[in-house]
Structure 1
Amino acid sequence: MAGQQRQLTLRFLAEPADVNFGGKVHGGAVMKWIDLAAYACAAGWSGKYCITAYAGGIRFVRPIQVGSLVEVSARIIYTGRTSMHLALDVMAGDPKVSERNLTTHCIVIMVAVDEQGSPTPVPQWQPDTEEDKYLQESAIRLMQMREKIGQEMEAHIKHLGL
């Protein structure tokens, strides 16, 4: 049911096919996992098919070793009319022990769409805890910063005559 599933965690083992030339998990593989978890969380919240509108602020904190147990956690931190802002954390560690370390963090914005691909309303999320209120306020501040960056990029492109 829409509006019920605010967060989820995907768990799996990092495979040799995920390795980069340095012997660690490729950043592109991590970004794919983030997108999958964001989609699953947003679809669960909205009850609709969702598309990625933005992925940003990605921080690769530490590398992931092949064979690590990887946990990609996504949670709704803000909802607009048709969009959902999600915080994503990637944790990884040796599957033989319970300790997991933060490897990556980012914000993803997903938009729910109808059968014609047009944005469609999503259930509104309201924060309950102080942490949730902080996360929602943070999402709003980040949205305002992205708007300013977008305006600056438009001015830059216009100045270049593109």
Structure 2
Amino acid sequence: MAGMERDITLRFLAEPGDVNFGGKVHGGAVMKWIDLAAYACAAGWSGKYCITAYAGGIRFVKPILVGNIVEVSAKVIYTGRTSMHIGIDVKACDPKFCERQLTTHCIVIMVAVDEDGAPTEVPEWVPVTERDIQLRDSAIKLMEMRKKIGVEMEAHIHP
């Protein structure tokens, strides 16, 4: 039911096909996992098909190795009329000594769309805990910063 589940966690093993030339998991593979978790979280919250509108602030903190257990956690941290800001944490560990460590963090904005591809309303998420209020307030600040960056980027798009 829409508006009931605000978070999801995906767990799996990092596979040899995910490796880059340096022997670590490729950043592109991590970004794909982030997008999958963001979609699952947004679709679960909205009960609708969702598209990625923005992925930013991606921080690669530690490398992920082949054979690591990877955990991608996604959580709704702010909702607009048709959009959902999803906080993503990627953690990984050696399965023999599984003490998960943060490897990547970012924010993804997903938009719910109808059958014609037009944005459609999503259930409002209202923070309850102090931590949730902090996450919501941070999402709002980041949204304001992205608007300013968008104005600056126009100079590069339309010289």
Same fold (TM over 0.5): yes
How many equivalent pairs are there?
159
Q: Deviations over 1:90-120 (max 9, x none)?
A: 0000112230000000000000000000000
Mapping of residues 5-154 of structure 1, within 5 Å: 5-154=5-154
SS at match of 1:108: strand
Structure 1: distance between partners of 2:65 and 2:104 = 13
The runs of at least 4 consecutive aligned structure 1 residues that moved more than 3 Å come to 155-158
Structure 2: distance between partners of 1:95 and 1:77 = 30
Structure 1: distance between partners of 2:20 and 2:97 = 25
Which segments of 5 or more consecutive residues in structure 1 lack a partner in the other structure? Answer: none
- The one-letter code sitting in structure 1 at the alignment partner of 2:75 is R
Structure 2: distance between partners of 1:121 and 1:145 = 24
Structure 2: distance between partners of 1:94 and 1:24 = 13
Report deviation, 1:14: 0.1
Q: Deviations over 1:109-153 (max 9, x none)?
A: 000000000000000000000000000000000000000000111
What TM-score, normalized to structure 1?
A: 0.96
Which segments of 5 or more consecutive residues in structure 2 lack a partner in the other structure? Answer: none
Report deviation, 1:86: 0.5
SS at match of 2:97: coil
